[in-house]
Amino acid sequence: MIANPNLFAQQEANRRRSRWLVIGFILFFAWLGFGGDLIAYLYTRGGPPGAYHHVVPVFGVLLTLIGSAIAAWSWKTGPKRVLWSTGARELTDPVALDERQLDNVVQEMAIAAGIPRPRIWIIEDPDPNAFATGHDEGTANIAVTRGLITLCSRDELQGVIAHEMGHVKNLDVRLTTLLAALVGAVALVSNGMGRMIFYGGYSPGGLRMSGRDTGGGRSSSNDRGGGSGPLIVILLVVWIVSWLLAPLVTRLLALGVSRDREYLADAMSAQFTRNPLALAEALQKIESADAPTRSIKSGAAHLCIADPLGRPLNHGESKFASLFGTHPPMGKRIARLEAMAYGSLPASSSVAPPPAPAPNQV
């Protein structure tokens, strides 16, 4: 197999992005914790000698540990959680003709890509779509919808599976699966904190926002904060907004994963199958499908070969769409594949040997 710098550059970029994603996630939780400690310290430092003074940064230490635990949990269980969220079932003993064909195609494309055979999953959804998840080549999973199996010919199915093999080989699955898991974890934590803020009526440090002190008398924020009232208010607003915007920030990170990963996986599919038109025709059928992929929610949409939500943003080529769109415009992807087929655009990806037919080919 001939190595191509594009593949190795993409692999290293995905490793680097995954590391920074985890570091940024933990630092965000550290800010939420230590920011809460700072607000509580400023609020209580002006109290009388017998009153509570928040000095030990317990929230910062606790939330940093929680953030680290969530990141580790997301890394370990991310692939399983993504598959569970779609209702996928593993294909272990294919009996039906279309399932045997899928199993053979996955085996063929694994040989062509030079990677171990991924585990195969089927999602009972009539809309055609597919995605790959996992940490690396040894832990990869490929999931396809029932609609894709029904709609695509054998060659077209090869093109789609080879595209997903490309994501596995260039380690896109590591980054995108981690993103999907963190999006869900952050949304859960943020929702819980939002309920506590708005319905529990508490500020950092367990102090009520009503302005009453522990003795039942009233005191202003300036009195309790030693003259730091405006600073406390500003920090508190930023702190609360950080909690509330956390799910949006992680979703934007998922949206901001480079569209180039899809072009590279398309090119790798062309190399593995030696038939760029097969994927082009499959993408055309997927694009023509009317219904969204209801089994795949927004948190995992960036994993799919086509946007399961059908968002207009992914049809444009503006700078905004390039930054936040999860997928390139389907027409542009199809045009590139057709250009490869007719020799006007070389497939600049990893070069693999032609696929060897699997035994008992269906």
Which residues does the annotation mark as catalytic? 164
Q: How far is CA 151 from CA 101, 107, 160, 285, 309, in A?
A: 13, 20, 12, 8, 19
* Residue in the block written with tokens 């079932």: 89
CA distance 75 to 98: 33
For residues 171, 173, 179 and 185, what is the CA-based torsion angle, rounded to 10 degrees?
-130
Closest CA to 164 of 197, 136, 131, 194: 131
Determine the length of the chain. 362
Strands 119-123 and 89-90: antiparallel
3-state helix, strand, coil in the chain (%, to 5): 65, 5, 30
CA distance 123 to 150: 12
CA distance 16 to 156: 33
